Chains A and B, each alone.
Chain A
Amino acid sequence: MAEQPLLRVRNLGVSFRSGGVESMASSGVTYDLSPGEILAVVGESGSGKSVSALALTRLLPPEPACMITGSVQLQGRELVGLSETELTKVRGKQIAYIFQEPGTSMNPVYTVGFQIAEAVKAHRPEISNVQSTVEESLDAVGIREPARAAASYPHELSGGMLQRAMIAMALACDPKVLVADEPTTALDVTIQKQIMELLARLRKERGMSILLITHNFGIVANMADNVFVMNQGRVVEQGSVKAVMGSPQHPYTRGLIGCIPRLGQRRRRLSTLEDALRESETQSG
């Protein structure tokens, strides 16, 4: 690729230490994220997909409880090993996150607008009219009455509205990379569709890069440019969505895709991951 990647991740590893025992959560994660690219990360729970995304800005316990190895370069600047003060400037400002449960990501005792304003004040002190920035960003995520939404407490909004507000909070600081960790898992399918369309629009309008963590291959197929599949802390397969989903090479990927029931393709039995792994063993052995 001639274009310089926005985010260059090499051999990223995360391990946790507790009671003298070290356990590896992920290792050897390597990828490039170009400007405006949507890169999907898939895997089961415990595969290390979230932890390796949190490790980008060290949203994890401090050393020595949690060790991060390898390299993360954001526009050529190394993030691994930065001090907490330095990282605070990267978090939210350059790499922003949205999470699975919009309800628990917000503080229940402050209004939505107050919480977005907090992020704006912290990262963009040059802005004098914070209130209008808050409302602009709520408007940008398709909330019809931004002023009213800003004055609401989290419990007064629906799950879909809250997730929009979370995205608005992330956008308010105009980040280069948005990490979306299972952003629609807790939402209904119709709302999921709206949120996905919103993310696709933001990528197009702002050229934002998105690291999309999901376990839904349907979303990967519809949204992402490239994908990597994680299992037990390691990347087992990566490439363009077309290549990985069209002809998955690794038995784990094949198993993961094969066990999903699809509309209009009824089968008597669902194949399981174990089936796929067993099959590949008999073939190779």
Chain B
Amino acid sequence: MSTPTLIEIQDLKVHYPRPGAGWFSKADPVRAVDGVSFVVPRGKTVGLVGESGSGKTTTGRAIVKLAPVTAGKIIWEGVDIGQMDNRTFLPWRKKVQMVFQDPYGSLNPRADILGILSEPLEIHFPKLNRSDREARCAELLKKVGLKPEQMRRHPHEFSGGQRQRIGIARALAVQPELIVCDEPVSALDVSVQASVVNLLQDLQDELGVAYLFIAHDLAVVEHISHHVLVMEKGVVVEQGTPDQILGSPQHPYTRTLLDAVPKF
């Protein structure tokens, strides 16, 4: 691929102790992610598909350090962030943000939109004063197709699709280079889904942000991705361009997934 690499994942492993196992137990751990390697090019979208339990969400969470990395490297501009402690990681956290699946559970119900969008700014851009933050918030809302006048409202006053737009605005607030989108449209109606997918693509064209797009809907992943990974039981079973993966799948698991999609 000619596009420069933004982030490289090498042999990433996330293991958890088996539930119920004692401290000194030698029981085999749960291998949620077991040796995953891939590259996210700058400004491109990498789609990650698989069923529940395949380890796709854990992979995404490990990259933003919301899941503990057992082994392997996450290389960002030559630096391995995988084993970094949270304090050292702070400047990197600004570069990689996350959009969550549940637009109802991922926004603080007691904060207004200004508060929700200001929090990352206060942490990562402490020099901004209140009116700067307000201006930035207005700009972000416009960018995601909402109105700046709405910044004093609370999450419950918005629909699911609008809330997901707020989640995207929050991720964009700190000008990240990569956004991990964990099933960003699967909780939305198909009609709303289309407009959020279009928004993500428009933002990529405008800002050059890269996405790790995690989803179980193969058609949405095919539509949005430049590169697709298929995960099963913690490992990547197949990867390639959307045409390769969905046009001529090589791995039996990929074929099973494709066959299961109702076509019309």
Binding site for B on A (CB under 8 A): 44-45, 159, 188-190, 192-193, 196, 215-222, 245, 255-256, 259-264, 266-267, 269-274
> CB distance B246 to A264 under 8 Å?
yes
Residue of A nearest to B221 (CB): A261
CB pair B223–A222 under 8 Å, yes or no, is no
A259 and B191 form a contact (CB under 8 A):
yes
**B34 → A minimal CB distance (Å):** 20
Partner of A270, one of B223, B257, B264: B223
**Of A188, A222, A266, which is within 8 A of B52 by CB?**
A188
Q: Give A29 to B152 CA distance when docked, in angstroms.
A: 40
The answer to whether B197 touches A261, judged by C-beta atoms less than 8 angstroms apart, is: yes
**A-B pair number, CB within 8 angstroms:** 92
A100 to chain B, nearest CB (A): 12
Taking the nearest CB of chain A, how far is it from the CB of B224, in angstroms?
8
Give the nearest-CB partner of A43 in chain B.
B189
Of B192, B220, B259, B261, the residue contacting A218 (CB under 8 A) is B261
* Chain B 48-90 per-residue mask, 1 if CB under 8 angstroms from chain A, else 0: 0001100000000000000000000000000000000000000
Instruction: List 23 A-B pairs, Cβ < 8 Å.
Output: A188-B51, A188-B52, A189-B260, A190-B256, A192-B262, A215-B189, A218-B261, A218-B262, A218-B264, A256-B190, A256-B191, A259-B190, A260-B194, A261-B197, A261-B222, A262-B219, A262-B263, A263-B222, A263-B261, A264-B222, A269-B201, A272-B195, A273-B194
- In the bound complex, what is the Cα–Cα distance between A221 and B262 (angstroms)? 8
C-alpha gap A255/B192 in the complex (Å): 11
Q: What is the number of residues of chain B that contact chain A, defined by CB distance less than 8 Å?
A: 32
B222 touches A273 (CB 8 A): no
Would A266 and B242 count as touching, CB distance under 8 A? Answer: yes
Which residue among A193, A216, A220, A264 has the maximum number of chain B CB atoms within 10 Å of its CB?
A264
What chain B residues lie within 8 Å of A220 (beta carbons)? 264
Which among B51, B189, B193, B242 is the interface contact of A189 at CB below 8 angstroms? B51
Q: Can you name the residue of chain A whose Cβ is closest to the Cβ of B193? A: A259
Q: Are A189 and B218 in contact (CB under 8 A)?
A: yes
Shortest beta-carbon distance, B211 to chain A, in Å? 16
CA distance A188 to B192 in the complex (A): 21
CA distance A193 to B261 in the complex (A): 8
Interface status of B250 (Cβ within 8 A of chain A): no
The residue on A at minimum CB distance from B197 is A270
Q: Which of A189, A196, A256, A261 contacts B216 (CB 8 A)?
A: A189
Q: In the bound complex, what is the Cα–Cα distance between A255 and B193 (angstroms)? A: 13
Q: Please, how many angstroms separate the alpha-carbon atoms of A270 and B195 in the complex?
A: 8
Chain B residues with Cβ below 8 Å from A216 are: 262
Is B19 part of the binding interface, using a Cβ–Cβ cutoff of 8 Å?
A: no
**Do B223 and A267 touch (CB < 8 A)?**
yes
A-facing mask of B200-225, CB < 8 A → 1, else 0?
Answer: 01000000000000001111101100
Knowing A270-B197, A273-B194, say if A45 contacts B189 (CB, 8 Å): yes
Q: Contacts A190-B256, A263-B246, A264-B247; is A245 near B191 (CB within 8 Å)?
A: no
| B150 neighbours in A (Cβ, 8 Å) | none
B51-A190 in contact (CB<8A): yes
B258 at the A interface (CB under 8 A): yes
